[in-house]
Amino acid sequence: MLHPLAQANGLGSDGNAVRPEGPRYWETTATYLRYHLNKFMPQSLSRILVHLVFSTKGRERFITPAIQQELHPYLAGILNRTDCPSLQVGGTDDHVHLLFGLARTRSTAEVVETVKTSSSKWIKTQGSQMGSFHWQGGYGAFSVGPPQTDATIAYIRNQAHHHRTATFQDEYRRLMESYGVGYDERYVWD
């Protein structure tokens, strides 16, 4: 007995494709089904939210409040232009947090490289004192599920308050531990 889906898609009682209306003709059932499955299911979909964290090299305090006002929207713009919708950007004078949806066609490493390279070039144009600016070599990328999205947005918005009592290093250690990321202190900080 032929599966009802196959019958509905134009397969004859012998299981072979019957000539559909139009110019195409499939010799085998498998070819016919592959065509129709791809025709009706062409999308590749994903919803991966990433909480990205990285600091300035040596945790230098380059990101003044004036720079933050322009840097955070600039970072969001880079993400949006790379098909990684920005949900929240924030940080303090020595690091940034970015929450975004990862494009299904990009790796986290590609996004990080684009964000760091472009923003570093921009920051260096913001005055002679910024000529020696660099981001740290590494980064932390943590997955965020839909139930945690609002809390993560609030956490990023509240960075100034949070860092009245915690250093970037304390915060980063806590993030790595809460996500079960193994790390070696000798190689985390640069």
**What pLDDT is recorded for position 21?**
52
**What pLDDT is recorded for position 45?**
84
Query: Whole-prediction pTM value?
Result: 0.76
SS3 66: helix
Buried b (16+ CB within 10 A) or exposed e, 105-124: eeeeeebbebbbebbeebbe
**What pLDDT is recorded for position 190?**
81
Burial of 35 (0-12, 13-18, 19+ CB in 10 A): middle
Structure tokens at 109: 């490493």
**What pLDDT is recorded for position 31?**
60
Radius of gyration of the chain (CA): 25
**What pLDDT is recorded for position 18?**
53
pLDDT < 50 stretches in the chain: 2-7, 9, 22-23, 25-26
